Each structure stands twice: as C-alpha cells, then as structure tokens.
Structure 1
Amino acid sequence: MKIATWNVNSVRKRTGNLLAWLETARPDVVVLQEIKAQEAQFPRLEVEAAGYKVEIVGQKGFNGVALLSLHPVEITARALPDGGGDEQARYIEGRIATPKGPLTVGGIYLPNGNPIHTDKFAYKIAWMDRLLQRARQLLAREEMFVLGGDYNVCPTDRDVYDPKGFANDALCQPQSRAALRMLLNLGLTDAVRAWYPDTPCYTFWDYQAGAWAKDWGLRIDHLLLSPQAADRLAGVTIDKPERGRPDPSDHVPVWCELDFQSS
C-alpha cells in the first residue's frame, strides 16, 4: 500500500498536475496540503473520476488539507485537539482497513512560523505541541499510523542546502527541530531517513533565484511512521521529476510503501 503526501500549492492551479500524478503513481492514500480552496472549489468530480474518495478540510485562499483514498475511509479528525478556536485548516485524519488491521493516516500542514520574532513562530511551536499530544493518543492504540505532510521543519543541517543562510529561518530554529525530535523520540520513524540514511533528499525548491536548476532545496515534507507501520516499510520515493513539470508546485510528492503480504 502506497501512502503519499504532497503540498500542491493550490489544487485549482495544479489540477492537471495532480490528476496526471495520480494516474501514474497510483497511491492508495494521499494527503494534500496547501490546497488553498474551500470544499466547493476542490476539483472533486475530476479526482473521484480517477477512482479516489475525497475528504477535505478547506479554507478560503489559504492553507487547506485533503485526504484522497482508493479505499473506504473513516474520517477520525478534521483538526488537532485543544485548538482553542483555531480556524486554520491544517489537519485531517482518516482510518483505513488493511489485511493487517486498521491504518490511520494523518495529513499535516504545519505552520511556517516566519518571522521568528512574531506570534507566527509561537503559533508554530504551540501547534507542534498539539501534534505531539495527538501522536501520543495514536500510539496508545498500538496500531499502524502514518503522519504525513508539510512539516515546515528541516530536521538537520543536511536537510537544507545552505544551513548558514537559513540560520534565522523558522524552518531551522532549534525550537522547531527540538519539537520534531520530540515526535520522533516517541518511537516514530522518519521514513525517508530510514530508507536513505545519508543521501540529500530535498522535497522543496523555491520558485525564486533559480533554486530548482541549482538544486537549492530543503527537506520539509515528511512521513512519520508508528512502530507497527515502520515494521512494514518496504520502500520510499521522492517524486523529484514533478518539480520539473510545467507550472509545478514548489514541493514534490513523497510516498512510502507498506508491505501487508508478510506476516
């Protein structure tokens, strides 16, 4: 089973890219971020025609997440708990049956947090704490889960092309990295690093300054696996060619494959 994440950076603008990728990659489940659309604006008919069930948490013009699945899915959350009235559309979660028991997939669009000396960074860290609490709740079930999405955190300096240049960016702040490590220290597995422990694995290239051509990238899109899911990890792919398509997103899809054939 393929579980994918992709920040599409406006689903209405990238509908053609999304449909072409769904046809070729054929993920079983994909979580999308930054759809920048309300539910009525999402290209539901086109995506459903491709065989996918569609669940959306939208927001006018900003943010927004979606979960697409080839399989029946029970939506278990449309926001993180303890939001205190937070209206930003940044989380969706669904449960899918597999031959080896239920699999929960969470879709995350973590706040960017820049500039760091503003309330935006405080919101980012508080949001990460809420995600940590949700991960603890999911771990208590002792079931498979994948938390995929745009985390807006470069875990280490090797995940950013210019560590010195990004030293004051919210994506590389010690607090951001520490909050991500807290998630991993619960016992979660970073799928990309489990599969590619030493290779530069960028998932984002800015539109500015020729970043794509120069391979000035960042690794900010992650798939974090529970121990039960990590035990079944059978492959990881970063679909880098998508960044070279006409009118691309500045992110590329990342997916992992879970093996349900073995015992």
Structure 2
Amino acid sequence: MRLVTWNVNSLRARLPRVLEFLGEHRPDVLLLQETKCEAEAFPHAELAEAGYVAADHSAGRWAGVAIVARAELGLADVTSGLPGEVVEDEARWIEATVGGELRVASVYVPNGRELDSEWYAQKLVFLEAMARRVGELRAAAEAPELVVAGDMNVAPADVDVYDPAAFVGSTHTSAPERDALQGVVAAGLVDAFRRLHPDDVGFTWWDYRQGHFHRGLGLRIDLILATPAIADRLTRVGIERDYRKGSKPSDHVPLVADWT
C-alpha cells in the first residue's frame, strides 16, 4: 500500500503537479488539503482520466480536504466534518474506507494564528475533537486499520523546526498544541515518519518568502498517523522535496508512506 498526504495550497493551481505526481508515483491513496475550490469545481473528471476516484469536502476559497484513491479500490462510507469542531463549514476533515479494509481521514488543522486569539482556542478544540474521533474509530467493533494524515499545523518536537527559538511565543510549537497533538497519537496511532526516522530532520513545509526552501528553513507539520499494525509494516516513509521545486509549487510537499 502506498498512501500520500499533500497540502496542495489550491488544487486548481496545482492540478498539473498533482496529475504529474499520480503518474510518477501511482499511490493507492492520496489525501489532499487546502484544495480551495467549490464543490462543483472539484476536478473529478481529470482525476478519473488518471484512474482515480475522489471524495471532497469543499468550502470555496479557503481550506478544503479530499481523499483520492485508485478507481479499482473505490471509496465507501464517506463522511465529512469532524464531530466537535467549532466552525463546521470550514471543510477540514473527511473520512472514507478504501478497498473495504482501510479507514482514512484527510485533515487540515486550523492554523491558530496567535496564542491569545479565539482561533488558537478553536485549534485546541479541533485537536481534542480529533483525539476523540480517533478513539471512537479505534474502539469500533471490527474496526478496519486507520490512517489519519494531513497538515496538522503543529511541529511535534523541536527537531521538527528549523529554529525553535524563532517560534517562542507563536503558534505551531507551543506546549498546549503539542500536548493536544500527542493526545491524538495517544488515542491509538503512530507517527509514521518518526517510526522509520527517529532522529532525522525532515521538513514538509517552507515559507515562500526569503528563499526559505533553499536555505533549509522549514517545519515538519504534515504527518501520517497510522495504527500500530500499519506502522509495524512500514517499508518507507519519504518526503518528496522535488515537488517544492519547479513550476507553481505548493509551499508543502508530498509525504509518502509505503507498507506491505
């Protein structure tokens, strides 16, 4: 199985790169965030031509998440929205079952903006709701294996930040955010990248400004969280840095997990 998560920062703007990626890497599942398109504009036809089906939770210019799977695997039991999230119309969570055996969720956690803002409080509530939902999915009778992946907007540890001192007093690295993210993991998941790369620096996002990508000034905020049974079968978890280069790149890159 090959599963990928990618915050594309506008699917319409990045569609040629997405189709390029599908052709080059042929993932079984591709989880997208920040699709930024209306539901009627979602490129189902283009993805179908590439051999994929998709389920989207779209909200226009902002946010938006989707699940894309090889057509022969199919998508079933699609549900949109995260129970307990504060703002229900921002399109930040979608779930589906792939191939009848794997439950996946694509998630775009709120940014949080500033530590003393209402948006930061909403971010913590969202992460707490994620932990509850993961617990529910893990506790369900005859539950399939689970992957929750996407843009978490939290760097789990200092090794995931190019300069921890630069983020003191700001979002993405604060203790409450990290604790809330750890609550999601503690509900029954494993950080796939850290399972295979316990000490490596592996950024997935770089600011467009001031040459941050070329200077190595990034964050690891895109995660694949998988059940222990999947984590035990991982053969590769890789960051596709080349997709931050070239024409019209997203500020995030694809994160790929392979397992047997």
TM-score (norm 2): 0.95
Q: Tell me if 1:22 matches 2:22.
A: yes
Aligned to 1:92: 94
Contact map agreement 2:4 2:27 (CA 8 A) in 1: yes
- 1:2-49 residue CA offsets vs partner (Å, 9 max, x unmatched): 011000000111111111011101110011000101111122211110
**Greater mean deviation of Cα atoms: 111-120 or 80-89:** 80-89
In the other structure, the counterpart of 1:109 is 108
For 2:56 and 2:78, locate their aligned partners in 1 and report how far apart those are by CA, in whole Å: 13
CA-to-aligned-CA distance 1:128-162 (integer Å, 9 cap, x gap): 01100100011113531100100000001110001
The residue matched to 1:137 in structure 2 has which SS? helix
1:223 aligns with 2:186: no
Distance 1:6 1:190, change over 3 A: same
Offset of residue 84 of structure 1: 6.0
1:117 shift after superposition: 1.1
Match of 1:31 in 2: 31
Partner Cα separation in structure 1 for residue 115 and residue 89 of structure 2? 21
2:253 alignment partner AA: V
| Cα distance in 1 between the residues matched to 2:223 and 2:179 | 15
Which aligned pairs between 1:143-222 and structure 2 lie closer than 5 A?
Answer: 143-222=144-223
SS at match of 2:27: coil
In structure 1, the gaps of 5 or more residues are none
Distance 1:245 1:94 in 2: 32
Q: Give secondary structure in 2 for the equivalent of 1:176.
A: helix
Q: Distance in 2 between matches of 1:168 and 1:97?
A: 44
> For the residues of structure 2 that align with 1:21 and 1:75, how far apart are their CA atoms?
26
Are the counterparts in 2 of residues 38 and 57 from structure 1 also a CA contact under 8 Å?
Answer: no
Q: 1:38 is aligned with what amino acid?
A: E
- Distance, in Å, in 2 between the alignment partners of 1:169 and 1:14 is 29
Asked if 2 retains the 8 angstrom alpha-carbon contact of 1:2 and 1:256, the reply is yes
Deviation at 1:97, TM superposition (A): 2.7
The TM-score with structure 1 as length reference comes to 0.94
**Structure-2 separation of matches of 1:85 and 1:110:** 12
How large is the Cα RMSD of the aligned pairs?
A: 1.3
Segments of 4+ moved more than 3 angstroms: none
Structure 2: any 5+ residue segments left out of the alignment? none
1:172, distance to aligned residue in structure 2 (A): 0.6
